[in-house]
Amino acid sequence: MKQTTFIAVLVVLVVGMMAVVFLRSNTQGEPGAGNTSQDVPTLKGAVQFGEEHAFTRTIRKFEELVREYYGKPVNFELYLNSELGLEKDYFAYMSQGISVDYGIVSPAHMSTFSESAPLMDMPFLFRDVDHWNKVLESDALEPIAEEVSEKADVRLIGYAGGGIRNLIVNKPITNMQELKGLSMRVMGAPIQTRIFQAVGASPSVIAYSEIYNAIQTGVIEAAENEAAGLQQMKFYEVGPEISETRHAITVRPLCFSGKTFRRLPRDLQAAIIKAGRESGAFGRHLESTEDAAILSRLEKDSRLRVHEFTQRDELLKLAEPVKAAYAKEIKAEKILARINELE
């Protein structure tokens, strides 16, 4: 009788253990294989701007395309207007796999992890908009993307941008003489400081959020930005004189946390990669077509005045040796050569 009872208890225990194993296998699955209907992925994004900005609209397009290509429920939480900090913070969060999963980040903010990343933001890198587009549609920047992924664990899944950057000044600047000694804000990457020093200005690194007050209080006389940022941050109120140096066409990578990416189902990973590439192209078209329109509208509304920089060829000439030296320093000569050879 005791033996029969023991066997019965043993059978119950074995059946119970098998049931637990079965339930776990059906709720967990293989890593990256998928989620149950109750386990809807939630992805968090961040942007420094409001809904009307080109970056935000590009990210919204990314979210839309991911939902379309994934074909299953996925939640997106996008934090606007610098609620989670600035782009440099977003990139650090993505690298650590916390707080932010996706966002658009200036290459300058990747320099802590990747020496070559700021090359994408180097002044006078692109001849014109056509050249810029061809570079971003080619494989020219792939070595940079690989380095960022390896060292920062952040994937560059698309390339937005397209704003033409000019000087935003509190007085008219139209030639080399007027540019000489101009105190101006630049981004943190060393190449920004070097090139603007080479052309005669006096650059200093100041946080993006502090630009308005810095010009207003006379700490600096100028900054540099594209039209979308100029409009969003109302820089024209303190720097109403726009000097058309056209020193850069922006490249703004759409980034995704590598740590988050590896935790996702494989079909969602594929949707993110496809959506990233396509939303990047959407963002480039959006910003490049709107850039001139924004400046024109603000000038028509008497918010700013646009001045041609009459010695732009001299800027290009002075910048060339600095670009070459910088590319050699960061071991990116082949990347720069590949960019230059694209017609």
Higher-confidence residue of 53 and 79: namely 79
Does residue 25 form part of some domain?
Answer: no
Neighbours of 8 (CB within 10 A): 10
The residues that bridge with 308 in the sheet, in sequence order, are 244
Neighbours of 210 (CB within 10 A): 13
pLDDT classification of 37: cutoffs 50, 70, 90: very low
Number of structural domains (the chain) is: 1
Please list, residue by residue across 60-81, b when 16 or more beta carbons sit within 10 angstroms of its beta carbon and e when fewer do.
bbbbebbbebbeeebebebbbe
pLDDT classification of 115: cutoffs 50, 70, 90: confident
What mean pLDDT is predicted for residues 130-146? Answer: 94
What mean pLDDT is predicted for residues 183-194? Answer: 90
From the list 184, 171, 189, 216, the residue with the least C-alpha distance to 307 is 171
What mean pLDDT is predicted for residues 257-272? Answer: 98
What mean pLDDT is predicted for residues 13-32? Answer: 39
Neighbours of 232 (CB within 10 A): 19
pLDDT classification of 23: cutoffs 50, 70, 90: very low
- DSSP letters, 24-69, are HHHHH-STTT---TT---EEEEE-SS-TTSHHHHHHHHHHHHHHHH
**Alpha helix stretches (DSSP H) within 97-220:** 129-137, 142-152, 176-179, 190-198, 211-216
Please give the Cα distance from 244 to 194 (Å, whole number): 20
Strands 222-225 and 154-169: antiparallel
pLDDT classification of 189: cutoffs 50, 70, 90: confident
- Looking at the predicted structure, is the pLDDT value of residue 275 above 90? yes
Residue 274 is predicted with a pLDDT of 98
- Looking at the predicted structure, is the pLDDT value of residue 261 above 60? yes
Does residue 16 form part of some domain?
Answer: no
Which of 30-39, 270-279, 292-301 is predicted with the least confidence, judged by mean pLDDT? 30-39
Under 8 Å between Cβ of 110 and 91:
yes
pLDDT > 90 fraction of the chain, expressed in percent and rounded = 78
Q: Which two tokens stand for residue 1?
A: 């009788």
Q: What is the CATH number of the domain that holds 171?
A: 3.40.190.170
Q: What residues make up the domain containing 311?
A: 42-341
Q: What is the mean pLDDT of the chain?
A: 89
pLDDT classification of 121: cutoffs 50, 70, 90: confident
Does residue 9 form part of some domain?
Answer: no
Residue 34 is predicted with a pLDDT of 39
Residue 78 is predicted with a pLDDT of 98
Does residue 4 form part of some domain?
Answer: no
- Looking at the predicted structure, is the pLDDT value of residue 2 above 70? no
What mean pLDDT is predicted for residues 279-308? Answer: 94
Does residue 28 form part of some domain?
Answer: no
pLDDT > 70 fraction of the chain, expressed in percent and rounded = 89
Residue 18 is predicted with a pLDDT of 44
Please give the Cα distance from 207 to 214 (Å, whole number): 10
**Alpha helix stretches (DSSP H) within the chain:** 2-28, 54-70, 87-96, 129-137, 142-152, 176-179, 190-198, 211-216, 227-233, 258-263, 266-300, 312-329, 333-341
Does residue 26 form part of some domain?
Answer: no
Q: Residues 194-236: pLDDT tens digits?
A: 999 999 999 999 999 999 999 999 999 999 999 988 998 999 9
pLDDT classification of 69: cutoffs 50, 70, 90: very high
Residues 6+ away with beta carbon under 8 Å from 144? 114, 116, 117, 119, 120, 156, 332, 335
Under 8 Å between Cβ of 148 and 156:
yes
What mean pLDDT is predicted for residues 251-275? Answer: 98
Which of 7-16, 20-29, 263-272, 318-327 is predicted with the least confidence, judged by mean pLDDT? 20-29
- Looking at the predicted structure, is the pLDDT value of residue 12 above 90? no
- Looking at the predicted structure, is the pLDDT value of residue 164 above 90? yes
- Looking at the predicted structure, is the pLDDT value of residue 36 above 50? no
pLDDT classification of 108: cutoffs 50, 70, 90: confident
